[in-house]
Amino acid sequence: MKRLRHKYWARIKMFLFLCLCVPLLPGCWDSQELEHMFYIHALGIDYQDGKYIIYAQILDPTALSKESQKSEEGLGAWVGVGVGQSYEDAIHDLYATSQRRIRWGHLNAIVFSEPLLAQKGVQESLDMVTRYEEIRYIPWVYCTDSSIPKVLSSAPILESSPVFSFLSDPYAVYRQSSFIEPVRLHRFITNLQEPGRPGIPPEISVKENRWFDAKATYPEIEISGYGLLRNGKLVGRLSRDEAIGERWFSPHISRIPLILNQRGDSIATMTIIKRKCRVRPVIIGGHLRFDAQIQVGGSIVQRGRPLSQAQLESMISKKIEKEIRKTYENGLRYGVDIYTLADSLYRRDPQTFHRYATKDGHLQLSEDSLEHVEVKVKIYDMGKATESANRFTS
pLDDT of 188 = 94
List the single range of 134-138, 195-199, 256-260, 387-391 with lowest mean pLDDT. Answer: 387-391
pLDDT of 389 = 40
231 and 265 co-located in one domain: no
pLDDT digits (tens, 9 = 90+) for 184-221: 999 999 988 888 788 899 999 998 888 888 888 878 88
pLDDT digits (tens, 9 = 90+) for 141-191: 999 999 999 999 887 777 656 777 888 889 888 888 888 999 999 999 998
pLDDT of 27 = 57
Give me the domain span that covers residue 280: 248-394
First-to-final CA distance of the chain: 121
59 and 181 co-located in one domain: yes
pLDDT digits (tens, 9 = 90+) for 57-98: 988 766 555 444 554 445 567 899 999 999 899 999 999 998
DSSP state of 357: B
189 and 279 co-located in one domain: no
Q: Which of 240, 262, 292 is the last residue of a domain?
A: 240
272 and 393 co-located in one domain: yes
Domain containing 369 — which CATH number?
3.30.300.210
Which positions ≥6 away from 182 have C-beta within 8 Å? 140, 170, 171, 174, 202, 223
Q: Which of 240, 269, 303 is the last residue of a domain?
A: 240
d(CA 234, CA 232): 7
DSSP string, 184-243: BHHHHHHHHHSTT----PEEEEEEEEEEE-SS-EEEEEEEEEEEEEETTEEEEEEETTTT
d(CA 162, CA 41): 9
In the chain, the percentage of residues whose pLDDT exceeds 90 is: 46
Residue 161 belongs to a domain? yes
Residue 301 belongs to a domain? yes
45 and 179 co-located in one domain: yes
Average pLDDT over residues 246-260: 88
pLDDT digits (tens, 9 = 90+) for 217-244: 878 889 999 999 988 899 999 999 999 9
175 and 61 co-located in one domain: yes
Is the pLDDT assigned to residue 391 strictly greater than 70? no
Domain count, the chain: 2
256 and 233 co-located in one domain: no
292 and 327 co-located in one domain: yes
Q: Average model confidence (pLDDT) for the chain?
A: 84
- What long-range pairs does 382-386 form, CB within 8 A, spacing at least 24? 382/299, 382/300, 382/303, 382/309, 382/312, 383/299, 383/300, 383/301, 383/302, 383/303, 384/302, 384/303, 385/303, 385/304, 385/305, 385/306, 386/302, 386/303, 386/304
pLDDT of 306 = 82
- What's the one-letter identity of residue 345? L
Residue 2 belongs to a domain? no
pLDDT of 157 = 75
pLDDT category of residue 319 using cuts at 50, 70 and 90: very high
d(CA 334, CA 350): 25
- H/E segment holding residue 393: helix 390-393
CA angle 157-159-161, nearest 5°?
A: 115
Could you tell me which residues are beta bridge partners of residue 256?
272
Question: Phi/psi of residue 7, each to 5°?
Answer: -65, -40
190 and 308 co-located in one domain: no
pLDDT digits (tens, 9 = 90+) for 260-313: 988 778 888 999 999 999 999 998 888 899 999 999 999 998 887 888 899 999
Q: Would the CA dihedral through 152, 157, 161, 162 be positive or negative?
A: negative
Residue 8 belongs to a domain? no
C-alpha of 173 from chain center: 12
